[in-house]
Chains A and B, each alone.
Chain A
Amino acid sequence: MNYFELFSFTPSYEIDTALLAERYRELQRAVHPDKFANSSEQDKRIAVQRTAQVNDGFSTLKNPITRAEHILALNGFDLLHESTTVKDTHFLMQQMEWRESLEDIAHSSDPDEMIADLHESFSVYAKEIEQDLAQLLLSNSEEELSKAADLIRKLKFMAKLQIELERAEDVLFDQA
């Protein structure tokens, strides 16, 4: 299933998310099972299936990481079910350092500033990855797409860091 086609987009990492939300509402209305209340059993079943597809498609395209994975999947790369180990030492060292910084927030003399700095660092780093990724995903060469796969893996680590940072913020907020 090509979700870009379903939502009338050309496959690209950069999409108009407002337009995506608008088309999602239109599609939802068009296939909503309530509209098929008086239809045949088969039509009802199809409406339920279509609704599920539209929902899956929307959540896949809304999230940048799953959107990128979907582009790769359309090109025959399955990242969703892989258990690849990342061995890029330089990248992992940086991850370790950031994880250590997250731990230090609780003992910091100015935790708010530390959180703000980390937000900034994470977002700068992730943006750089995303710029390269957007370019690579326009290609259909296997080499470029496998580079794109590496960048998606890195973005997953960044997403995890972001979750941990928000958790640290919550802890701080609860204590205040």
Chain B
Amino acid sequence: MAYSEKVLEHYENPRNVGSFDKNDPSVVTGMVGAPACGDVMKLQLKIDKDGMIEDAKFKTYGCGSAIASSSLVTEWVKGKTIEEAAAIKNTDIAEELALPPVKIHCSILAEDAIKAAIDDYKSKQTK
């Protein structure tokens, strides 16, 4: 199957790959996986005291579309507030990367990773 140019571009030059120190109190983590293909995605956000996302990093084991989706998401969330990041939809990701229907689940995984990271943020806030 042919990947779109944007997917290839992110796949060959993934942005913000890696991990933050998980003991840093400003770091939250979202871990998600897709059983259908066995893909695993970790999204970490560094959030300042005002709820602004300062930085983001990801680590994804999966196909090109899954890597591109998570790479794109790290670019998009930087500088956004938690609320703005929570509003990112998988359809936005799929459209930006021109994902074919069989790869839509990769964009869903990336959206769920943002949600999981925000859940982690909220659970840390209430502690």
Contacts and interface: CB of A to CB of B under 8 A. Distances in A.
Interface string A56-91: 000000000000000000000000001111110101
Interface in B1-57: 29, 31-38, 40, 42
Interface in B68-106: 104-105
Interface string A131-160: 000000000000000000000111011011
Contact of B109 (A85, A156, A157, A161): A85
A156 B40 contact: no
Contacts, number: 55
A153 B42 contact: no
Size bracket, chain A contacts:
20 to 34
A89 B40 CA distance: 11
Nearest to A102: B61
B40 A95 contact: yes
Nearest to A83: B105
A113 B42 CA distance: 28
Interface residues of B, number: 19
B34 A87 contact: no
B116 interface: yes
A99 interface: yes
Interface in A93-107: 93, 95-96, 99
Contact of A160 (B32, B37, B108, B112): B37
Contacts of A152: 35
Nearest to A149: B35
Pairs A-B, 9 closest by C-beta atoms: A160-B38, A153-B35, A92-B31, A86-B33, A85-B112, A156-B35, A99-B61, A83-B105, A89-B31
26 contacts: A82-B36, A83-B105, A85-B32, A85-B33, A85-B34, A85-B109, A85-B112, A86-B32, A86-B34, A87-B33, A87-B116, A89-B29, A89-B31, A92-B32, A95-B33, A95-B61, A99-B40, A152-B35, A153-B35, A156-B36, A157-B33, A157-B38, A157-B40, A159-B38, A160-B37, A161-B38
Interface of B: 29, 31-38, 40, 42, 59, 61, 104-105, 108-109, 112, 116
